[in-house]
């Protein structure tokens, strides 16, 4: 790494984007073309940058998790989600609307709302995006 802080930031941001892109490509293509997880040094550098405030900690951890770094996945805590709540969470994380989720699961819109409220409470989040990020970090999303 170079000593210039701007160059160092750009290089690490590039590493983060490369790791994230590699993880996305792996998820789309499959395990036969999977890239190895990032080296410990790359992950340590990115985490150090996030601790210093130069990079967003959530973005760093999500990028490393997408690239296969198992240390990035947070241990589950709090009450477990029911099977139906997991179904709703997976569809919610894929950007489906409540109406689309209801149709796919053959339940009412109102039931989807109830499940969503329970999911938010159990995960300690208050947005669909935060719930989706949690699901991705926990490895709860299945390939379509």
What is the pLDDT at residue 57?
75
The residue among 47, 72, 97 that closes a domain is 72
The residue segments making up the domain with residue 41 are 5-72
Answer yes or no: do 65 and 111 share one domain: no
| 46 and 94 housed in the same domain | no
Q: For residue 142, is it within any domain?
A: no
Examine residue 27 and state whether it is found in any structural domain, yes or no: yes
Average pLDDT for runs of 10 along the chain of length 144: 50 50 44 54 80 79 70 58 93 95 96 95 91 88 71
Q: Which tokens go with 25? A: 């490509």
User: What CATH number should be reported for the domain holding residue 115?
Assistant: 1.10.10.10
Same domain membership, residue 40 and residue 99:
no
**Res 28: pLDDT:** 43
pLDDT at 119: 94
């Amino acid at each position: 790494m170079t000593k210039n802080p701007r160059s160092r930031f750009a290089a690490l941001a590039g590493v983060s984007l490369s790791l994230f892109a590699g993880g996305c490509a792996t998820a789309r293509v499959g395990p036969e073309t999977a890239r190895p997880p990032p080296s410990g040094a790359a992950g340590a550098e990115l985490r150090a940058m996030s601790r210093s405030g130069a990079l967003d900690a959530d973005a760093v951890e999500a990028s490393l998790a997408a690239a296969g770094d198992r240390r990035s996945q947070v241990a589950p805590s709090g009450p477990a989600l029911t099977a139906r709540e997991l179904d709703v969470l997976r569809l919610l994380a894929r950007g489906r609307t409540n109406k689309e989720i209801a149709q796919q699961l053959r339940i009412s819109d109102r039931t989807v709302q109830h499940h969503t409220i329970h999911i938010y409470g159990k995960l300690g989040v208050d947005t669909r995006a935060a719930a989706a990020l949690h699901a991705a970090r926990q490895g709860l999303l299945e390939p379509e």
